[in-house]
Amino acid sequence: MKIGLLLPYTGIDTAQGTDVTNGFELYLAMAGRSTGTCDIEIIKEDDEAKPEVALMRLKKLVEADRVDFLVGPISSAVVLAIRHYVRECGVPLVVPAAFTRVLTAPNEAAPNIFRLSETSDQANYPMGSWIMEHTPYRNIIVMAADFAGGRHSVEAFMAGFRAAGGKIAAEIYPPFGNSDFGPALRQAAAFDADAVYAWFAGADAVHFLTQYKDYGLDRTLPLTGHSALTSDTILPVIGKAALGIITTGSYSATVDTQDNHQFVRDYEAAYNSRPSRYSECGWVAAALITTAVHDLNGALSDPARTRAALKTALAKIRPPRGSMEFDRYGQAITPIYITRTEEQFGRVINVVIDTLPAVTQERTWGWWNRTSQDAAK
């Protein structure tokens, strides 16, 4: 059995691609690189987080390598660029982290695409009402990388925040792959607001958080956002500049389940670092595929049976984050965790402070579906 990993191994999303791969290979190592019915061959391709590169290397995996399953990508822009080809070729694609809401929306979902991370709505939309209920912030600046993933995240947050009675002071979108946030931070400092809600990931998040503290904005504008901002992998690099940030997402290394405690121990032993949300999604992706193939006794000739096995396999495994299952559109129903960065035992970690159980995309997609319908009138 061949599995193609289409992930960024160079460029701005290298850390995320490496984490997904580490989690994936950790599970396979524990399983003996076998499903019990067939051995597993991994073929890795670097999409560089670039849509045109990703499509070219995806075609190589499908047409030359003839893989049985695909895992990837990380970037929302990349997944939107490849989804039509994936639908047409029919090879099952397990998406670990590219979370644009469009991918599994009712009118857009494909029967052979399955996503394990939350959508851009599942964490960000309910965070709007959570902040209104649990913090004094009523007037917030949003800041996000200027691409699909960043914009979709803060759009969802703004919709939830406004629905709960909050106000948006400003929207600021620095370019994706940015190292100088000075102009954006000076712009934010000019507004009278209570806090900032942000979405940046990888190297962007490191630069943003470091410069946010250097500019002194952390003293006047408390920072909140999506958990990509304070991924466990990059926290050792950022250090104390990340302290006190409240974020939302589907995983933290501090999730208090026996399965997660074991996962963290195994991951730290293998890689000498704490697992991130990307690591956990990689682990779940490997568990999902191997469980489905085991249920099929290794018979992969019938695409419909393979898709059905993937659909039911998620509820049979024990993800570190907690119980999960797919909805009718191939999107994971997942717990969502609210975390705060704290210093414990000499290191900065994301501590879970609240849990939203079994959040569905159907619970959150109503706001943008209504907006789309209104725009069409």
pTM of the model: 0.92
Q: According to CATH, what is the number of the domain 124-254+336-376?
A: 3.40.50.2300
Q: For residue 77, what are the contacts with CB-CB under 8 A and spacing of at least 6?
A: 49, 51, 147, 148, 149
Token pair belonging to 195: 């806090």
Quick check: helix, strand or coil at residue 351?
A: strand
* Mean pLDDT value across residues 130-142: 98
Q: What is the pLDDT of residue 211?
A: 97
Q: What is the pLDDT of residue 370?
A: 61
CA distance 167 to 204: 26
User: How deeply is 107 buried, as exposed, middle or buried, from its count of CB atoms within 10 A (0-12, 13-18, 19+)?
Assistant: exposed
Other CB atoms closer than 10 Å to residue 56's CB: what's the count? 12
Place of tokens 């999506």: 226
CA distance 153 to 355: 19
The pLDDT confidence band at residue 375, using thresholds 50, 70 and 90, is very low
Whether 36 has a pLDDT exceeding 80, the answer reads: no
Q: What is the pLDDT of residue 33?
A: 79
> In the chain, which segments carry CATH 3.40.50.2300?
2-118+256-334, 124-254+336-376
Other CB atoms closer than 10 Å to residue 128's CB: what's the count? 24
Q: What is the pLDDT of residue 148?
A: 85
> 52-105 pLDDT, tens per residue?
999 999 999 999 999 999 999 999 999 999 999 999 999 999 999 999 999 999
Q: Which CATH superfamily is domain 2-118+256-334 in?
A: Response regulator (3.40.50.2300)
